[in-house]
Amino acid sequence: MTKLNNNEISFALITLAYWFFMLTDGALRMLVLLHFHVLGYTPLQLAYLFLLYEFLGMITNLSAGWIAKKFGLNTTLFAGIILQILSLMILTQLDQTWSTTLSVLFVMITQGLSGIAKDLTKMSAKSSVKLLSPDKNSKLFKWVSLMTGSKNAVKGFGFLAGALLLSFTSFETSLIIMALILALMFVLLLINLKTNISEVDNKSKFSEVFSKNKDINYLSLGRVFLFGSRDTWFVVGLPIFLYSALSDGSLDGNKKAFFIIGTFMAAWTVFYGLVQAITPKILSKDKSFSKQTKFWAWFLTAIPLLLISINYYFEQYSIYNVTFLLFMFGFVFAINSSIHSFLILNYTNKNRVTLDVGFYYMSNAFGRLIGTLLSGLTFQYGGFTMCLFITSILLLLNRLSIQKLNLKYIKV
């Protein structure tokens, strides 16, 4: 049996911590969305609940790479987990007698804290792949795909866990359970992760966050459109579309709808994560990496347009059409996302990895911010079809950004 080296042990510990974090992140998203939808919040109000989460995540990513450069990745990793525990516990203090405006503001603030926590942890985990993996492209692609894919699979289980918790226990109890689980993981990490996984540079300037690498900038722009496209239909549009089709408004009807929605979103995210993890095996080593990257970007653009067309002619089967084609979307989206995650680590170097990864995931968070707002707006004023139409436009912009990348000499 092969003995693990120190880098592999550190990678395993960080990945495990990242899994637990994303489990609570997915569960919290589902808890908040379903709980406040049942309370009568409109799609746009539901979107507002997550706007500060995405906005502060964007700001965090922009500065987190610089903070990690000055104080080390261990600092940002630990800080992210602690902040998530705090955000869960603060949210338990929500008072049902408050006005809608006060409740929205309170939840926005706690979600904003969670957004900071999520992106501190995410940047730390993703940067560690570059620092801990062997200096080979094939290994780098394999490690980043494994971490990214497994993380999304775990987040999918979090969606289901959130829906189940809300079905069988109270909103407040659910939050406490998640905080305790995360606290146990933090203690485990604190005990076992002894050494700093990145070098510290106290002289690093904040201005270094902005990359001068053309490929990193175009890739980051593409990331804005890629994740904006997904969240335009995923964050508010899809859950409310499914809820309206599955629940009659009764307590039993709500429980049934919660379970089905949570199961679907969990299955979709787990499936998407599994495809991310095996993307290196899906891509052909004998074919041009550049051509494959552009092909998968075009393929993704076509899927929401196909779904709109099918629903136009077969509206009575809309739920089945949505289910099938969104799983197809998940398959192709996962491949695109894994390629992006590999490229950012390929284009950067170990001296700038935390800065470039932070900038890149700032773009990721900006895309989610746009997508979250568009999800509420488009569903409220144009329904699920409008969500899909805007998704297609954003995916076209992603494809145009990818066209600008230098992919000619990249091999996997």
Note the pLDDT of residue 199.
Answer: 65
Q: Which CATH number does the domain housing residue 83 bear?
A: 1.20.1250.20
Residue 235 lies in a domain: yes
Contact status, residue 277 vs residue 149, Cβ threshold 8 Å: yes
Note the pLDDT of residue 166.
Answer: 81
Note down the domain range covering 159: 6-197+209-402
Neighbours of 63 (CB within 10 A): 18
- Of 137, 128, 149, nearest to 278 (Cα)? 149
- The size of the chain, in residues, is 412
Residue 410 lies in a domain: no
CA separation for the pair 135, 117 (Å, rounded)? 29
Query: What is the phi/psi pair of residue 248, to 5°?
Result: -100, 5
Residue 408 lies in a domain: no
Note the pLDDT of residue 15.
Answer: 83
How many separate domains does the chain show? 1
CA separation for the pair 254, 90 (Å, rounded)? 26
Block mean pLDDT (10 aa), the chain, length 412: 64 84 89 83 84 87 79 87 95 87 88 90 82 68 81 85 84 91 88 69 68 90 96 89 82 81 86 90 86 94 91 69 90 95 88 83 89 92 92 96 88 69
Residue 236 lies in a domain: yes
Residue 204 lies in a domain: no
CA separation for the pair 388, 308 (Å, rounded)? 7
Tell me the pTM.
0.78
Residue 389 lies in a domain: yes
Note the pLDDT of residue 1.
Answer: 44
CA separation for the pair 390, 123 (Å, rounded)? 28
Helix locations, 207-247, DSSP H: 214-234, 237-246
